[in-house]
Each structure stands twice: as structure tokens, then as C-alpha cells.
A and B are shown apart, each in its own frame.
Chain A
Amino acid sequence: MTRSTSATGRRHGGNRWLLFLLRRTGRMLVAMWVIVTVAFLVLRMAGGDPVRSALGATADESVVQARREQLGLNDPLIVQYFDYLTGLFRGDLGVSIITGRSVTELVSHRLPATLELAGLAFLVVLLVAVPVGLGIAVITQGNRRRGAETAFTGVTAFIAAIPEYLLGVLLVIVFAITLHALPVAGRTGPASYLMPVIALSVSAAASVSRIARIEALNTLKDDYVRTARSKRLPAWMVYFRHALPNMLTATLTIGGTLLGAMIAGSVLVEQVFNWPGLGMAFVGAITTKDYGIVQGLALVYAAIILVVNLLIDLVLSLLDRRTSLLETS
């Protein structure tokens, strides 16, 4: 009798999971479409002729006209929109207004550098923040060692208040200019990854470790941790085997936000370290008013963040075996 009820419960749960999946995918597609449309309109609506303002007042009128023709800016707006959408489905992200070169090509050259940087920093943040949060939670649980708690809060608040680019600048001053220990800029070898990754991950690690500590404190109060203690297991087993996996799912809930922050931070860090990634190209295109590139790169950034968010949500809902997550949205 009890088994049959649990089986129907699971079938019901499966339906809900599918619904959850559909809703999340739907939301992502809507957000993506809004971004595509906004990016499209921005290029057309920003005051004046974008081609003229990108190429400069001195450019020859025939060149401007040729580039307008290449971009299809002389067609009616609705035709342009349609062409643009069909182009996107073929993987065509448009062309640079200034050079006329394909944005897709630019992305294929620069995306790996950005993904490496953001991905490595993401890993570093999790590998540092989760154990630190757990460790501090273990020594401060039950309102003990208020001093350690205050110190932890103070130190992490301080570190979290240092923006990525500032830390990058400080690292350059200390390790590259003063000590000559590391390369100043560029992506030249394993050593050149060190400073950008540190600059990008440190302040995020501080914020995440605070979240991890709160999650760990909640997890340590859970009954199964007491059960593990009742088995007189060694402390490392209680914390790493019994508490960690459960606290990890809770901490990963902010994974999407964290990755978004990493991507945004990477734009700044790339600037400091002259890192040949998307961010350099993006900021460069904004300052030179090359909206052809801006439009393409904005889409790429949006797609990365939205897809990763969706994936994290899906992985979490699968990991969370108590399926309580489904009720939240």
C-alpha cells in the first residue's frame, strides 16, 4: 500500500519536473528574444547614422553608402528584422561597421579566452568559498566563538568591497611592476593566467563564502548530521561526506548569479590585463561606436549567461532529491 502511494507521488513529481523545465526554457527563450530585438533596435535607433558616426565625419560618402548596403540598412525595417533573425539561425552575428569583418569569426577567436578566464575563476571561487564557509560554520556553530565570527564577517566584507579591476591593478603593481614575478599582461602561458584569475575570483569568493557559511550552519543543524555523529564517524567524514554534498546544492543556487558576476567581471579584468577575450572587443567596440560588433557580442554574452543559468537550474533540480526546489518557481 505504501509503495503504491510513493509511486504515484513520483509520477506526479515527474510531471511537475517537466513543467518546470518547460517554464524555465520558455522564460529563457523570451529573454533571449527580447535581447535580440533590443540589440537590433539599438543599432537602428541610436541617434544619427551609425555608419557615419562609426567611420567618422571624414570618411568618403561612397564608402559609407557601400557599408550601409552591406549591412542592409537601406531596406525597410521589417525586412531588416527578418533578415537579421534568419541570419542568426544560420549563425551569422553580423559584421563590423568599421572593418566589415564577420562578428562570428571574431567571437570564434576570442570566446575561448573569456570562457577560460570566467570558468577558472568560477572553479576557484567554489573550491575556496565552500570549504572556507563550512570550516567557519563548524567552529562558530551554536553561537560559539563570536570573535571568529566577527573576524570572518569583517574580513569578507572588506575583501568583497574591493572591485575586480582594482584588485587587478594592485596585483599588477605588486607582482608585475615591483617584483617582476609575473607577466604584466596578455595570455602567453600558464603564469599569465594567475593574476587575471585571482583578480576575478577573490571578491566573489569572499561573498560566496559568507553564503556558504550560512548554508553550512543550516545543514549542520539538520537531523542527518546528528545521525552521522551518532555513528561516531571521524569529524572529516561527518563534515565532508554528510554535510558537504547537501550544503553544496544550497550554495549552488546562487551559481547562476555568480557566473553572471564572473562574466561581467571578466570584461573589466580583460581590460586591466589586456586579455584577448570578448570583453576587450566589446568595450573597444562601444568606445569606437562599432555597433555592428556591439550587437553581435551582446547576443553572445546574453546567450552564455542565460544558457548557463538554465543548465544550473536543471542540474540543481535533478540533484535536489527532495524536489523541494520545484515549489519555489
Chain B
Amino acid sequence: MTNRRSGPPKRRSGPPRQPMAIIAVCMLGVLVLLAVFAPVLWGEEAVAADPDAIALPPSGEHPLGTDKLGRDILLRTLVATRLSLVMAVAATLMGGCIGLALGALPAVLGTRAQRWFASVISTWLAFPVLLVAMLTVILLGPGTTTAVVALALTMTPSFARLAQTLSSRVGGSEYLAAARMLGVSRRRQFTRYVLPNIAEPVIVNVTTSIGGGLLALSSLSFLGVGVQPPDFDWGRLLSEGFGQVYNSPVAAIGPGVAVVFAGLAFSMLGESLAAQLRNREHGRALPPRRLGPAPVAERPARTPAETERAETEAAPLLDVDGLSVSFPGPDGWIRPVQDVSFRILPGEIVGVVGESGSGKSVTMMSIAQLAPAGAAVTARRLRFDGEDLTGRTPAEAGRVLGTRVGVVFQDSLTALNPALRVGTQLAEIPRVHGGAGRAKAHEMAVRALDDVRIPDAARRAQQFPHEFSGGMRQRALIAMSQIGSPSLIIADEPTTALDVTVQRRVLALLRRECAESGAAAIVVSHDVAVLAELCGRLLVMYAGRIVEDVDIALLATPERLAHPYTRALAASLPDLGTDRTKPLVTIPGEPPDLSRPVTGCAFAARCAFATDDCRTEVPVLTEHRHGGRVACRHPQDAMATDAAPGREEVGA
């Protein structure tokens, strides 16, 4: 696959370690040996009639008994392996080749041919498989060749469709366009560029199809329209065995086992090949036993002084200490959130800012007990409203939170269930948690929609999410987070998907809801401007850690901010006084890749003030003179008095 070279480095190499692949290969080995040698060894014996041993039950001499002509059924089953396999392989190869040609050729023939071929394939696919087979049988007369041709014809369109889908992807690719411009011939385009790129999925499909073909061919023979006597395959033997099922049930079981064995061998091989392909493309996460225990924050627990101070302070609504979130990855744990600690007081509105991938959403979803399945969340301390959430499963912790935490999600189109009416989705909460009846719950839903200024709320409640506009859906989501009267609202990028005017209205609504209900809120955004309008305090996250925790008012005086990253963010914030003729300040460099652990401060690579110890040791988030906390070895606010760096130079 030449076009994938630019992807991530190869993860694992070497032979497949899946047990399924090994078993499948062994089973196929047995089949191939039988197909080659059984007819040579027992071919004559299997067709020799013995009038003295007609329809005998199983015995030492005939383990599966004999048939109506006194032939040994076990030997016949073994000998039939060759014909059964050859038929299935031949039919699949024939169907595969025709299908491949029909499906892949149009990629180099131009769009009109492509469209024409596509409609032929679609019509062919619409043809009932059974009919294609039966009509072939009628045209050519029952027999071995007929059965093979019939099966090939039924397989052709699905191979063609597969090849078509795959090659249209290649056909549109840049390197094929380049080959075309260079004047590479169509034949060469096809053999050198199209075929190699679709080969692997097609091979997987062929393998699986041989298994399916084997079953289908045996079915045709069972019906009496496939292999005709004196030839015999497994289907034929089964049908003969079924004829004497009252005398000797085992007669039908032997060939049956053979059919299942062979079908299984091919489908297992196909599947392990497919799994192999998938793994190579995505890199599958390690299983738990190879991952080891989930990582926890390295920093020791709070110092006695900190603990003492924490206890004299007003009781926080939410108290998070040393929260880490990890996901299983192909090379071990991936840690999007590391050692995050903060507190939220009742009624406080706190903003969380950071670039995409900084772990801000994952942190908040983990606190709300909504982390994706498979995530490992650890914390030294996670208390909500005085109740400890550590040591509980997410489901249990979620039950403890109940409706006291309301969540507003980012994308209102995907966050609302497309198959349920908006009113129903709101009414569920009072119905489940408040014990309200159907009518009462619906009434509450309508009132909640009305509260967020959705016009004609009673009618709107009966509609589906796709009938709402984007802003209205977002307001419906806010109404949904409010309906259980929560004491904490977690809003995850609540305005990202909206245009600016709607954004303003949604923010105003969120602020009003908090002010009226007295609920605290955590608002996550990558947009400092949005948070500056709404929040009292700002948590700045970078590469999975909080780097600064600061009063929002300091954004107006960037020289008092301590962390270089926060200063850069504040500098990139345009206001009315910004000189529009100058370009906005951007932060050079890229955020680090979370799948590769960084030693030291993650921002060091982009920081103008970084020193060697920044690169070796992670700075700890500690109390700072600006009244907040900062995790930086070289806080910049001290220099504000003597050598104030100009705004444009920050982080450069």
C-alpha cells in the first residue's frame, strides 16, 4: 500500500499471533491433504458397491455405516472433499475475476463508463441469487459445471460492487491523476495502480466467499440440481443420507460435519485476514493484561498545610485532586488528562480554556461520569457536594450525582436523539427522577422549553430535533440540563457549533439560568473571548494538565498573568482597542502528541523562556502571588515591572 507510507510508524510486525488464524490454517491443511490424497487412496473403494452390506448402521468396519448400494459412507465423505473444494474454489475464482474486471475497470475508463457499469451492477445485485442459479440450471441442465457457473454468476455482482467501491477511491486519488498526466497507459494504470490497491480487501472477501460457496454448492446438490450421480460431493451424500435417515441417522451426519468443517475453515481464515488488515490500519489497543494498571498522578497527596487550608475554606461544591484519565492504546496507555486538581465553589462560574486535544472535555466528562467506555479514570480525591465519588463504578457514581449535575453538550445535532421527540427527551428526566406522571412530565418539558425562549413551545415539544434550527437545539439542550434543577452545570463547548449572533444569545441564556437558579457552572471552550464574558475564574489547560488557575479580571491586564501560554492566549484575544491592521498574535508550534509521553513541561518546546530543567521535570501547580495557581518554573508576571516584554513577542 504505497499510499499509506506517510501514516504512523509500523506498530508490530511478524507473523499473526491470533489463535484463530492458526486453527483456520490447520483446518485448511487437513482439507487440502484430503482433497489431494483421499481419491488416490480410497477412490475405488468409495464407489465399489457391496450387495452384502446394504444400508448398514455404523460398525467397526464401517464407522458411519453404508449406503443403499453398500458403499462405505466415511470413505465417500473423505473422497468427496476434492470435488466439493474444487467446485467452490473454481466458482469463487470465476465470480471473483469477472466481478473484479467489471468493478475495477471503470476506474480507468472515465466517468460515463463508470456510471453505466454502476447501474448494471446495481440491477444485477437486485436479482435474487436463487433465481440466477435456477435459471442457469434450466439453461445448461443440472450438473457439476452448471452448478459452478451458476454460483459464479451469483457471486459476480457483489465482487463487482466491492471492487467498484474500492477502486473509485483509488480512481479519485492524486497519484492516479498524476499517472494519467504522465501518460501512463490505461492497461498499466489498471495493473500497476488500481489492482494492487484493492487486492487485499478482495482477497479477504474471496476467502470468505469460498466458504459461502461451499455451502451454496452443497445446497444445490442436496436439491438434486447440482452434482449428478455417479459423481458425488458432500451435498449429494447428504441428500442420499437423508433418504435413509430412518434406518441410519448417522449417514447424514458424516457429510454434514464435513460441510460445516470446511465452511468454518474458510470463514475463519477470511476473518482473521480481515482482522489483520484492520489492525494494521488502525493499530488495536492492547488488552488489559498487557496494559498494566491505569496510571495515577505521581505527585504526593496534599501537604498538611494545604489540607488545613482546604478545610478552613468555604466547603467546595466540587473538589478534584489528582484526576488522571487514560485510554488503552496500541503501545500502552494514552494519557489525555494528567494530575488535574481544582475546586468549584457553589454558584461560581468557571471557564476552562485550551486548544483542542488539551484534555478539557475529557476532564469534564470524566467528572460527570460520562467518560467513554474503556477509559480509566483515577483520582486521589473526587468529591461532589461532600460525597466521595472515588472507588465507585461510573454507573454508581452517576447515580450519586443524579440530576444534581446537568450537562450541556457541544454539538446539539448529534447530542439529541434523532429518533425521539424533543419534548419526550426532556420529559424523561422528571419522569425517571421526579416520579412525575406522563402528563405532568410533558407539561414540565414544555415549560422548560418556554423558559429558554423557544417560541410556541407546546408545538415544538412534539417535533424531532432535525426540525429545530441549530440555536434552538442548543437552547433545548440547556433546557434539558436545567430541568432536573442541578447545582452544577457542565457546559462542553456550548457555542462552538453556532454562528456569532446565536452564540451571544445562548451565552446570555446560560448566564441568566445560572443567576436564577444559583447553580455553579463549568464552561469549557477553546475561545477565551467567550469565557471572558461569562466566567469569574479561568482554568487554562495544556496537554492534559492545568497550567494556570487565575481570576478572569487579570485577562484585561495580561502583564499580571504568570504562565507564558496564558499570556499568549490573552495576547491573541482581540478587543476594541486592538489594532486591526496588525495580524493577531499566534502561538508558534504544535501541541504535543499525547500518544508519546513528554518528559518535563509539555509547553517547553513552544516556550521562549524554557530552560533545561523545564525539559526534564514537570512543573507542579502551586499557589501564586496573583491569587491563583500556576505550573511554571519561570512565571512571567514578576518581570512585568522591570522588563515588560511586548505583547507581540510573547512565546515567540
A230 — nearest CB in chain B belongs to which residue?
B407
Contacts of A2 in B (CB 8 A): 469-472, 502
**Inter-subunit contact A230/B370 (CB<8 Å):** yes
**Inter-subunit contact B411/A223 (CB<8 Å):** yes
In the complex, what distance in Å separates the CA atom of A141 from the CA atom of B238?
41
Contacts of B402 in A (CB 8 A): 232
Contacts of A35 in B (CB 8 A): 127, 131
**Inter-subunit contact B416/A161 (CB<8 Å):** no
Q: Contact mask A135-171 → B, CB, 8 Å, 1/0? A: 0000001111010001001100110111111100110
**Inter-subunit contact A287/B225 (CB<8 Å):** yes
Picked from B123, B224, B238, B288, the residue with its CB within 8 Å of the CB of A30 is: B123
**Inter-subunit contact A224/B416 (CB<8 Å):** yes
Secondary structure type dominating chain A contacts: helix
**Inter-subunit contact A6/B419 (CB<8 Å):** no
In the complex, what distance in Å separates the CA atom of A324 from the CA atom of B402?
35
Picked from A177, A178, A224, the residue with its CB within 8 Å of the CB of B417 is: A224
Whether B219 is near chain A, meaning CB under 8 Å from some CB there, is yes
Interface residues of B in 389-428 (CB under 8 A from A): 395, 398-399, 401-403, 406-407, 409, 411, 414-420, 425, 428
**Inter-subunit contact A321/B419 (CB<8 Å):** yes
**Inter-subunit contact B215/A161 (CB<8 Å):** yes
**Inter-subunit contact B223/A267 (CB<8 Å):** yes
Contacts of B48 in A (CB 8 A): none
Provided the pairs A161-B215, A165-B219 are in contact, do residues A144 and B128 lie with their beta carbons within 8 angstroms? Answer: no
A228 — nearest CB in chain B belongs to which residue?
B417
Q: Contact mask B293-311 → A, CB, 8 Å, 1/0? A: 0000000000000000000
Picked from A141, A224, A267, A282, the residue with its CB within 8 Å of the CB of B418 is: A224
Provided the pairs A234-B432, A268-B223 are in contact, do residues A161 and B398 lie with their beta carbons within 8 angstroms? Answer: no
Q: Which of A60-68, A108-116, A124-132, A237-245 contacts B (4 or more CB under 8 A)?
A: A237-245
**Inter-subunit contact B418/A232 (CB<8 Å):** no
**Inter-subunit contact B420/A242 (CB<8 Å):** yes
**Inter-subunit contact B253/A170 (CB<8 Å):** yes
Picked from A222, A263, A322, the residue with its CB within 8 Å of the CB of B466 is: A322
In the complex, what distance in Å separates the CA atom of A52 from the CA atom of B252?
36
Contacts of A306 in B (CB 8 A): 126, 128
In the complex, what distance in Å separates the CA atom of A42 from the CA atom of B260?
34
In the complex, what distance in Å separates the CA atom of A68 from the CA atom of B141?
21
Whether A302 is near chain B, meaning CB under 8 Å from some CB there, is yes
Task: Report the interface size for chain A: residues with CB under 8 A from the other chain.
Answer: 81
B143 to chain A, nearest CB (A): 13
In the complex, what distance in Å separates the CA atom of A169 from the CA atom of B141?
27
Contacts of A221 in B (CB 8 A): 372
Interface size class of chain B, counting residues whose CB lies under 8 Å from the partner chain? 35 or more
**Inter-subunit contact B375/A142 (CB<8 Å):** yes
Whether A55 is near chain B, meaning CB under 8 Å from some CB there, is no
Interface residues of A in 260-316 (CB under 8 A from B): 260, 263-264, 267-268, 271-272, 282-283, 286-287, 291, 294, 298, 301-302, 305-306, 309
**Inter-subunit contact A287/B123 (CB<8 Å):** no
Provided the pairs A6-B469, A220-B373 are in contact, do residues A42 and B139 lie with their beta carbons within 8 angstroms? Answer: yes
Whether B287 is near chain A, meaning CB under 8 Å from some CB there, is yes
Whether A231 is near chain B, meaning CB under 8 Å from some CB there, is yes
Contacts of B126 in A (CB 8 A): 27-28, 31, 306, 309
Provided the pairs A232-B401, A242-B420, A283-B223 are in contact, do residues A27 and B123 lie with their beta carbons within 8 angstroms? Answer: yes
Interface residues of A in 200-216 (CB under 8 A from B): none
Contacts of A231 in B (CB 8 A): 403, 428-429, 432, 480, 484
In the complex, what distance in Å separates the CA atom of A45 from the CA atom of B375?
66
**Inter-subunit contact B374/A143 (CB<8 Å):** yes
In the complex, what distance in Å separates the CA atom of A154 from the CA atom of B272?
11
**Inter-subunit contact B245/A286 (CB<8 Å):** no
Which of B328, B403, B469 has the most A CB atoms < 10 Å from its CB? B469
In the complex, what distance in Å separates the CA atom of A176 from the CA atom of B367?
59
**Inter-subunit contact B128/A241 (CB<8 Å):** no
Picked from B20, B218, B249, B418, the residue with its CB within 8 Å of the CB of A177 is: B249
Contacts of B368 in A (CB 8 A): 230
Picked from A141, A177, A233, A287, the residue with its CB within 8 Å of the CB of B245 is: A177
Whether B138 is near chain A, meaning CB under 8 Å from some CB there, is yes
A260 to chain B, nearest CB (A): 6
Provided the pairs A226-B409, A268-B219, A271-B223 are in contact, do residues A260 and B129 lie with their beta carbons within 8 angstroms? Answer: yes
Q: Contact mask A1-22 → B, CB, 8 Å, 1/0? A: 0110110000000000000000
B509 to chain A, nearest CB (A): 16
Contacts of A166 in B (CB 8 A): 238, 256, 259-260
**Inter-subunit contact A286/B134 (CB<8 Å):** yes
Interface residues of B in 494-521 (CB under 8 A from A): 502
Picked from A46, A165, A173, the residue with its CB within 8 Å of the CB of B253 is: A173
Contacts of B142 in A (CB 8 A): 286-287
| 16 other A-B residue contacts (CB within 8 Å) besides A146-B287, A309-B126 | A42-B139, A160-B267, A173-B253, A177-B246, A220-B373, A227-B416, A230-B409, A231-B432, A232-B403, A245-B419, A246-B417, A283-B224, A294-B134, A306-B126, A321-B419, A329-B122
A-B contact pairs, 25 of them (CB 8 A): A2-B472, A2-B502, A3-B469, A27-B122, A27-B123, A28-B126, A31-B126, A34-B123, A42-B139, A141-B373, A143-B285, A143-B374, A144-B374, A157-B264, A165-B222, A165-B238, A177-B245, A227-B415, A232-B398, A241-B420, A264-B129, A267-B130, A287-B224, A294-B138, A309-B126
Closest 8 CB pairs of A and B: A142-B374, A142-B373, A2-B469, A161-B263, A223-B414, A264-B130, A224-B417, A141-B373
